[in-house]
Amino acid sequence: MPSEEEERVVVVTRRGAARLRSGHPWVYRSDLKSTNTAGPGAFVAVEDERRNRIGTALYSSASEIALRFLTSTTVSSDQEFLALVRERAGAALRYRQRVVENSDAYRLIFSEADGLPGLIVDRYNDVLSLQALTQAMDQPAVKQAIITTLIEELAPGSVIERVDPRIRELEHLPQAANGPLYGEKTQTVFTMNGVRFNYDAHTGQKTGAFLDQRENYAAAARYARGEALDVFCYQGGFALHLAHTCSRVIGVDSSRAALEAAEQNAALNGLPEMEWIEANAFDLLKDYAAAGQQYDTIVLDPPAFARSKATLPAALRGYKELNLRALKMLRSGGLLVTCSCSYHVGEADFLQMLTSAAIDAHRTLRLLERRGQAKDHPVVLTIPETSYLKCVLFSVSD
């Protein structure tokens, strides 16, 4: 960790100070007045232009987000910093004990939402997955403090590091491979809402599964019936839940590997009759709609279409095309479960797009539930970026 020989002070502009005092933890590089001796990943004292102390933040020498605020108190030593990291990690674990039900797979630490910016830790039964996304959290002493807390509190079989090469490049971190930080176990079986899933720490997107949809899987199953189509099914999250209430379920994804994993998950749950189709979702829905295919339940859970504000118009066009075709394929009284994980697509934009699609399809949408990410992915009101997932359930009629 950086030397403690002198206090590291970063002075921020009036705009940067106002942002921090409003409760948002990010200061962009354009709002730095000075960085003094701050090194990569250092914890630094933050002051405004009048040299009033604001608190302590984590500094990145590479990211456009130069500071990620940590605490309004002053951290004076590496020992104090590591003690704060362990305290925050313990608090995050206790929060999950209160809010998670019917699952041994969920997010344990959610970056800024848990006061540990740049750190993601997920639980898959007895295998934990850790991602360090900033210079500060990638430091060996910080990771060891986190691992020690996880071992003491949860006694996992292993802690596996998942690496995002693109993020590491942006943060000027050395390239690394996925690998064990503690223990050697990399495979297990986890359960969500009574449905079992295989887990391999070295495969899959994100840290291996889409845990943020866990509560939405159960909500969809409560309303689903008849013939169901799960589009962008990945490894079968929605589809496997729907199989318990629907007479027929078809899962669609463009990834053959994901569909093979979904098929294995179906067999794990004694559901060998499910159908899995490898296809481009846009092309398949276009062909099915033209052929007059009809379903009682349709789930749309696409990847993020809007990676930035600039791509928002194109993203909304893509969402509308998918939803318009789905609405034309639903029988009267059918269920539409439609999602967006794009932060830049706000809930108001998403609902307006659905309104437009409903008008064009000449269908009536009755709102059943308006949902977001699971509670183990907490939303902090002063940090809009912590709220990203939209999941809306509608009853569709003529």
Non-local (6+) Cβ contacts of 216 within 8 A are: 337, 339, 371, 374, 391
Query: Pairing relation of β-strands 105-110 and 119-124?
Result: antiparallel
pLDDT band at 4 (very low <50, low <70, confident <90, very high): very low
Q: What is the arithmetic mean of pLDDT over 44-67? A: 96
Q: Could you report the per-residue pLDDT of 170-194, keeping only the tens digit for each?
A: 888 888 778 999 999 999 999 999 9
Non-local (6+) Cβ contacts of 358 within 8 A are: 327, 364, 365
Q: Could you report the per-residue pLDDT of 238-290, keeping only the tens digit for each?
A: 999 999 999 999 999 999 999 999 999 999 999 978 999 999 999 999 999 99
Instruction: Say if domain 9-76 classifies as CATH 1.10.1060.10.
Output: no
CA gap 72, 85 in Å, rounded: 14
Q: In this structure, what DSSP letter does residue 226 have?
A: S
The domain locations on the chain are 9-76, 79-190, 210-397
pLDDT over 70 at 26, yes or no: yes
Whole-number Cα distances in Å, 23 to 46, 54, 72, 81: 14, 12, 10, 20
What phi and psi, each to the nearest 5 degrees, are found at residue 247? -80, -25
Which pTM value belongs to this model? 0.93
Q: Which residues are catalytic?
A: 341
β-strand partners of 103: 192
pLDDT over 50 at 369, yes or no: yes
pLDDT over 90 at 206, yes or no: no
pLDDT over 90 at 124, yes or no: yes
Query: Pairing relation of β-strands 158-161 and 179-182?
Result: antiparallel
Q: What is the arithmetic mean of pLDDT over 366-375? A: 98
Higher local confidence (pLDDT), 264 or 204: 264
CA angle 132, 134, 140 (to 5 degrees): 60
From the options 3.40.1410.10, 1.10.238.10, 3.40.50.150, 3.40.50.2000, give the CATH code of 210-397.
3.40.50.150
pLDDT over 60 at 85, yes or no: yes
Q: Give one DSSP letter per residue of 293-305, joined into a string.
A: --EEEEEE-PPPS
| Domain with residues 79-190, CATH architecture | 2-Layer Sandwich (3.30)
pLDDT band at 167 (very low <50, low <70, confident <90, very high): confident
Start-to-end Cα distance in the chain: 63
Q: Is 270 exposed, middle or buried (0-12, 13-18, 19+ CB in 10 A)?
A: exposed
Non-local (6+) Cβ contacts of 390 within 8 A are: 339, 340, 341, 345, 347, 350, 370, 371, 372
Predicted local distance difference test score (pLDDT) of residue 388: 95
Fold identical between 79-190 and 210-397? no
Higher local confidence (pLDDT), 35 or 268: 268
Q: In this structure, what DSSP letter does residue 173 have?
A: P
